[in-house]
Amino acid sequence: MARYTGPVCKLCRREGVKLFLKGDKCMTHCTLERRSSKPGQHGSGRSRKESGYAKQLREKQRVRRTYGILERQFHKHFDAAARRPGKTSENLLQILEMRLDNLVYRLGFADSRAQARQLVCHGHFAVNGRKTDIPSFIAKPNDVITVRERSKGLEYFKARALLLAQKGVPAWLSLDTNEMSGRVITVPSRADLELPFDEQMVVEYYQR
């Protein structure tokens, strides 16, 4: 599985916003707050006015890096969103949110999407009772994501079970802390997602 393996704080500095790629650590140990300049030898120089294309590119990169997806996979998700009825921009966010790695993160089983992706790849989760180790698996309403029985005895999930009760989940998901499982109630609408993106610029980037 291809993934970004470089320093994630550099990505936040490049985009100029917190992407919360380290989960809760970003609240207390944020490199962006100490070094707000862009990475590289020209990062601290005078910034130039961005063109329309540059703004679209930056917005696309913010969305892609927030969800931890490389360009090829992200473009596939965009093509799938464009083929669906409705607004392509909203369809794209819904596809990204319904990925299994994102659902594991949203349900509180992981502190970040990167950690959630690793847990999924290691086979710790089942969807509707079937082991699923593909992070890009797209769930549907009423799908149930469960920590597998063999994984519940691990120290990580024992500690996580104590934390789940303190974490809330989005309204379009439900969580059963006793069973260590979550259910997709419905596909989220744009109003359900508090994301600092202008996803329409992503559409404009690919349709230019």
Q: Which residues contact 67 (CB under 8 A, 6 or more apart)?
A: 74, 96, 99, 102, 113
Contact 139, 145 (CB under 8 A): yes
Note the pLDDT of residue 26: 46
Q: How far apart are CA 28 and CA 37, in angstroms?
A: 19
E-only strand ranges, 47-93: none
pLDDT score recorded for residue 47: 61
Average pLDDT for consecutive 10-residue bins of the chain (208 residues)?
56 57 54 56 59 90 92 96 96 97 96 95 97 97 97 95 88 95 96 89 93
Nearest Cα neighbor of 13 from 61, 79, 54 is: 61
User: What structural domains does the chain harbor?
Assistant: 8-40+48-96+196-206 (1.10.1050.10), 99-184 (3.10.290.10)
Cβ-based neighbours of 71, under 8 Å, separated by 6 or more: 64
